[in-house]
Amino acid sequence: MKSTFFILICFFGALTNLFTQETTPESSSTDRDMATFYHQQGTHTFNFGVGFPNLAGQAVSIIEDLSGEEAGAASPQFTFKYEYALTDEIGVGLHTGFYTATTPKLSASSLTNIIPIDLVCCFQDPGSECCFEQEVTETTDSGSTRINAFSVGGRFAYHFMRFKKVDTYTNAVLGYSFIREKTVGAERSEFNDAIAKVPTFVYFVSAGVRYYFMPNFAAYGEFGYGSITLVNLGLTYRL
């Protein structure tokens, strides 16, 4: 969570700096200086961010009609994205993501079977108290399931100049998510349906803005629709 807050602070701090800085005449800025604020052909960008809400993780951590000893939890989606600028408008690259989610922890108690204690008495008087005895032995059967999801896919972006000194773009991500399950304690069948619905096909279509507060460093935000998350905020390093 600390890393999430750090990225949010950097992102909104950069936006604040953008909209509060004094404007200077365009003639005082060279084309080269202005270009540093935008997507540039031949450059490489490395983007580190967090995505939220975690739609896939919430489906696992909040299972309806089940109350457990411990509540479930889901992390944000942590992302790393690489982009190469084919032109001043088009960028292609790699998208990777990782998140975890844990189901609620459920427990149950069980009793041993009722056993006969006097076979002769049972035969003579089946309804007698001497016929059966309930041997009470409580056992605890608790468990939860954790999933680790690692996704990898391709990224395509189209950049355009919409605002002064702000790189605006649209992008699409398509990929596959590898799901790994780990049972803690006893295996619980109640979780199977929810875990089976965790998406393995990853997609994210969004509009984004990126502001370079230094020639090689920027803060970005992407807002759209996807199978895992809706918003992605982070930092960019450019070569």
Give residue limits of the domains in the chain.
Answer: 2-105+145-238, 108-141
Confidence check: pLDDT of 190 > 80: no
Q: What's the N-to-C CA distance of the chain in angstroms?
A: 28
CA distance 167 to 45: 13
Stretch (H or E) spanning 209: strand 201-214
227, 229, 233, 237: CA torsion to nearest 10: -40
For 181, the 3-state DSSP assignment is strand
CA distance 42 to 239: 9
* pLDDT digit string, tens, across residues 15-51: 445 444 444 444 444 556 677 889 999 999 999 999 9
* pLDDT digit string, tens, across residues 160-173: 988 888 999 999 99
What predicted TM-score, i.e. pTM, was given to this entire model?
Answer: 0.70
Pull the structure tokens for residue 215.
Answer: 């020639």
Lowest mean pLDDT among 6-15, 42-51, 125-134, 180-189: 6-15
Which CATH class, in words, describes the domain spanning 2-105+145-238?
A: mainly beta
Closest CA to 88 of 31, 156, 166, 158: 158
